[in-house]
Amino acid sequence: MTDTIEVDSISKYFGQVTALDGVSATITGGEVTCVLGDNGAGKSTLIKILSGVFRPDEGVVRLNGERMKFSSPRDALARGIATVYQDLAMIPLMSVWRNFFLGNEPVRGLVPVRNLSVDWAKRTVVDEMAKMGITIRDPEQRVGTLSGGERQSLAIARAVYFGARVLILDEPTAALGVKQAGIVLRYIVMAKKRGLAVLFITHNPNHAYPVGDHFVILRRGRAEGDFRKEELPLDSLMQMMAGGEDLRDLVEELERIAAETGEAELAETAHGIVAEVEDLRGIGRGDQR
């Protein structure tokens, strides 16, 4: 079963500041919902409402038709809504496998086991990461020595492994170069293919466009629209496509990863993106002539 979150006319005020003003959106399993907007647009506030950190002052959020009233992030997590923040809540000096199981220590028959299951835990991390195309050479490696993209991917893999059905990612690619962003974007597509609802927050349309199914654009707390990819108006689209070189590099990177890993599905995604980009380029050129 896939999940649906309906954000219905949410407002949030901080004193005189209106952080969110009547925002509505629908987030569904098997789709990537992108929330785009400049600094201060209200993106993080929206996430914090969905993940149980804040309560809205007005409006309601429904999960599968039922009104959500989370009193804490733990509450949200128990309902399968996992949020990966930029600081990731990982411990850099701790090993990859310990970070993966942090707060979810392996147990045997409801009893936490120390030595018995460590090998299993290490194997699990390596396997889970391998499934997503990332080779962890040594699960004892410290998280602080992973690349930014690998670290983000580990956090996402952890959320998926422990049963997240709604995955909220706050600017997961913000600090990353093209190559590393490619790793995270690939992960986003895979989570979506597993049926998760992915909410991808970014202010980089070049990162959002290749993976997004629809786009919620926030401006000063107001949603300027919720566009499906196929109906995104040309001018908004071209606005989003500004700086297309970035996107081209990214597509090449995705293609390269697909060729390297031989993952048919991923190759398909990359080729789909290429076709889409070529299409858009064609439209763009036609428009300018």
- Enumerate binding residues for ligand ATP (CB under 6 A): 14, 17, 19, 37, 39-45, 203
Q: Which stretch binds Mg ion (CB under 5 A): 42-50, 101-109, 191-199, 228-236?
A: 42-50
- End-to-end CA distance of the chain: give it in Å, rounded: 48
Rounded to a whole number of angstroms, the minimum distance from the CB of residue 30 to ligand ATP is: 26
Q: Which stretch binds Mg ion (CB under 5 A): 40-48, 77-85, 111-119, 259-267?
A: 40-48
Rounded to a whole number of angstroms, the minimum distance from the CB of residue 148 to ligand ATP is: 17
Helices (H), 146-193: 148-161, 178-193
In 3D space, the residue among 184, 158, 155 whose CA is nearest the CA of residue 32 turns out to be 184
Coil, helix or strand at residue 288: helix
Coil, helix or strand at residue 223: strand
Cα torsion at 195, 200, 204, 205 (round to 10°)?
A: 50
Rounded to a whole number of angstroms, the minimum distance from the CB of residue 171 to Mg ion is: 7
Decide whether 222 or 248 has the Cβ nearer to ligand ATP.
222
Decide whether 12 or 43 has the Cβ nearer to Mg ion.
43
Rounded to a whole number of angstroms, the minimum distance from the CB of residue 208 to ligand ATP is: 13
How far, in whole angstroms, is CA 269 from its chain's centroid?
17
Decide whether 19 or 82 has the Cβ nearer to ligand ATP.
19
Decide whether 32 or 41 has the Cβ nearer to Mg ion.
41
CA distance 273 to 250: 10
Which of ligand ATP, Mg ion, none is residue 59 near (CB under 5 to 8 Å by kind)?
none
Q: Which of 33, 44, 153, 202 binds Mg ion (CB under 5 A)?
A: 44
> 89 in the Ramachandran plot: left (φ > 0), alpha (ψ -120 to 50) or beta?
left
How far, in whole angstroms, is CA 146 from its chain's centroid?
19
Which of ligand ATP, Mg ion, none is residue 51 near (CB under 5 to 8 Å by kind)?
none
Rounded to a whole number of angstroms, the minimum distance from the CB of residue 44 to Mg ion is: 3
Query: Count of residues for the chain?
Result: 289
Rounded to a whole number of angstroms, the minimum distance from the CB of residue 13 to ligand ATP is: 9
Element housing 11 (H / E): strand 4-14
Q: Give the number of other Cβ atoms within 10 Å of residue 94's Cβ.
A: 14
The first and second tokens of residue 101, run together, are 């199981």
CA distance 275 to 245: 15
180 in contact with Mg ion (CB under 5 A): no
Rounded to a whole number of angstroms, the minimum distance from the CB of residue 71 to ligand ATP is: 17
Binding mask 187-216 for Mg ion (x = CB under 5 A): ------------------------------
CB 228 within 8 A of CB 74: no
Q: For the purposes of burial, counting CB atoms within 10 Å of the CB of 225, is it exposed (0-12), middle (13-18) or buried (19 or more)?
A: middle
Q: Which stretch binds Mg ion (CB under 5 A): 35-43, 192-200, 211-219, 256-264?
A: 35-43
Which of Mg ion, ligand ATP, none is residue 180 near (CB under 5 to 8 Å by kind)?
none
Residues in contact with Mg ion by the rule CB under 5 A: 43-44
